[in-house]
Structure 1
Amino acid sequence: MPVGLKKTQQPTSPLDHNRQIVTSQPMTHSQEETTETSKVSGLSGVGSSSLCDSPLLPPHISELSAVLRGLLDLVDRHWSGNFSLHLNPNFLEQAYSILSKLKSSSHKETEEKRDVGGNESVTIHEKREKSHDCTEVGHLQGTLTQKSQLTCLQKQLVTALMDNIKLKHEIHKLREDNSSWNNIDRQWQSCLQLQGKVLEAEEKHLKELKDSMDILQATHRWVWSSSDGDRPIDII
């Protein structure tokens, strides 16, 4: 650290680093360089509260300055040297570089997590849409199956109605045929009855004829027996 700058008192707190009192003696060339370096460090470092808190700084620079200022305040509490790190431009430059890398790494991790979260959200949304599509497809398939079954049932119903009509025609035909057979049977029965009556009449006529023949034979015997002949003539 530069040791050419002479001060009248040690800083009592981190906020007093920018309010150090320089002696009124004429400064040498090295002292002037140290003073200019202190001014530059006060403008570029986080020890300058007016610059760190300026709204003109980008948000990430302001955040890095706040972190670095807190870190340097902590170092100053345990620093036993003559000067504060708030006034060291080399240290401030390296510290800014390291913190910027950490900040960019953290920002990348945050972006990656955000991307992963976004991808997970997209994946969940895609899964939901896929599940919804599968449900809709299943519903449509069920509807098509029901329609197909209904069509098959309608065809079976039409076939059953046609078979029923055919059976009705066949039954009607059988009834007509049965009626015809009944007529034939009645006629046959009438014919049999008529034949029976004819046979009874013939039997009666034959009986009467036999009786007549018997009477005639008896009469003929009596006639021949009462005649003049010696032997009677038997008529067979």
Structure 2
Amino acid sequence: MSDDIDPEETGAEARPEWRNFYGRRAGKTMRSSQKTYLSEDLDTLRPRGISPEENPGRETVDPASIFGNDAPVWLEVGFGGGEHLVHMAATYPGINIIGCEPYINGVAMLLGKIRAAGVANLAVHPGDARDLMDVLPEGCIAKAFLNYPDPWPKRRHHRRRFVTQEHLVPLARVLQKGAEFRVATDIPDYMRQTLEEVPQAGFALVAHSGTPWDDWISTRYEQKALREGRVPDYATFRKI
């Protein structure tokens, strides 16, 4: 185990440091209904061949094989409780959306929301977004979202944030030319790093303000930030 990785902070057995941009893999005991969602629904929504265990040769996985059609594909990195992911799927039924989230309690919450909303244009990868970006074809994603990511507030952990070149360069590879990348956070230093790092990976800043997008839905993490007096911040980039 690397001396730089603190298992008390990750809540999980340490993975190689360059992939460790998320925190806990599991939290409080789940309700029986959430366990049911995981046992009954996840297998049908989970794309195959994403994890290194299933695809050790890291062969390319075509999004059309995941969804069974050629509709445009969007990607949400770390969907939390799934509010935004389900909202976008319901708002844009002609779009396919892949959500990645290693926190299994969040996955269970999402599956319950999918049942309630009845959306069918979603795929759920219950793991690291980098595993997905490793195997997707170049230029296959039309839009990407990073909403309220783990802030990793300690300076020595800033390199674990998603907005580093280790994660942004692979993201840029799978995004189409002109694709939009949205970032929402309530941590000023996270936005500072976002504005510095994202352009270096081949993106142009389109907008940055305290006003969310027209199709935005406030998530549970945003509501928590507002209750605790933190100010949401939103940035839009475009791949160049």
**Range of TM-score over shorter length:** under 0.3
Pick the structure with greater CA Rg: 1
Greater strand proportion? 2
Q: Which has the higher contact order (CA 8 A, sep 6+)?
A: 2
Greater helix proportion? 1
